């Protein structure tokens, strides 16, 4: 054991266990992240071949907002204070709403098809996200 670990009483086994625990406790284990991730992938695949000269900026924004949903969940997970966590999780929820609106517009313009299932999936997962936000606000 080196001097620092002797001071803190950490054996090699404890240090290995701590490293192992740190790898397992990350944002990808957050239930909301795990639930929303496949829907974001499905959304991006739906938008993959969407092109329109007039509405390309809306398509591009939809792609960006899709990825930002997961980014905000990851950022929130890694914040220390519950208020900061709740703020990022709320921004993820806002991005879901923005994306749903964009998908509806793109569908109405006949640029993409079959978005109602995706929108419904986001609605269902937003319930658990709302619970996560509420739990942060209580702390």
**Domain residue ranges in the chain:** 27-138
Contacts of 126 (CB under 8 A, 6+ apart): 93, 96
Q: Which two tokens stand for residue 95?
A: 């991005």
Give this prediction's pTM.
0.79
Mean pLDDT of 94-116: 96
Q: What is the DSSP letter of 80?
A: S
Q: CA 46 to CA 63: how far, in whole Å?
A: 10
**DSSP letters along 89-136, please?**
HHHHHHHHHHHHHHHHHHHHTTSS---HHHHHHHHHHHHHHHHHHHHH
How open is the CA angle 69-129-91, to the nearest 5 degrees? 40
CA 3 from centroid of its chain's CA atoms? 41
Q: What is the mean pLDDT of the chain?
A: 84
State residue 18's pLDDT score: 43
Please give the Cα distance from 32 to 70 (Å, whole number).
Answer: 9
CA distances in angstroms from 69 to 33, 90, 111, listed in the order given: 9, 10, 22
Fold of 27-138: de novo design (two linked rop proteins) (1.20.1440)
pLDDT in tens, 5-51: 443 344 444 444 444 444 456 888 888 999 999 999 999 999 999 99
Residue with tokens 């829907």: 39
CA proximity to 31, closest of 117, 131, 99: 131
Whether 91 and 73 have beta carbons less than 8 Å apart is answered as no
**Higher pLDDT, residue 23 or 71:** 71
């Amino acid at each position: 054991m080196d001097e620092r670990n002797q001071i803190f009483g950490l054996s090699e086994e404890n240090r290995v266990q701590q490293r192992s625990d740190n790898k397992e406790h990350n944002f990808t284990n957050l239930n909301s992240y795990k639930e929303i991730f496949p829907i974001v992938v499905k959304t991006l695949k739906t938008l993959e071949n969407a092109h329109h000269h007039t509405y390309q900026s809306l398509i591009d924004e939809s792609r960006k907002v899709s990825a930002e949903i997961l980014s905000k969940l990851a950022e929130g997970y890694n914040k220390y204070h519950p208020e900061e966590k709740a703020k990022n999780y709320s921004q993820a929820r806002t991005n879901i709403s923005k994306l749903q609106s964009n998908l509806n517009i793109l569908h109405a313009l006949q640029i993409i098809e079959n978005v109602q299932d995706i929108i419904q999936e986001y609605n269902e997962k937003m319930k658990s996200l709302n619970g996560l936000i509420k739990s942060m606000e209580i702390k």
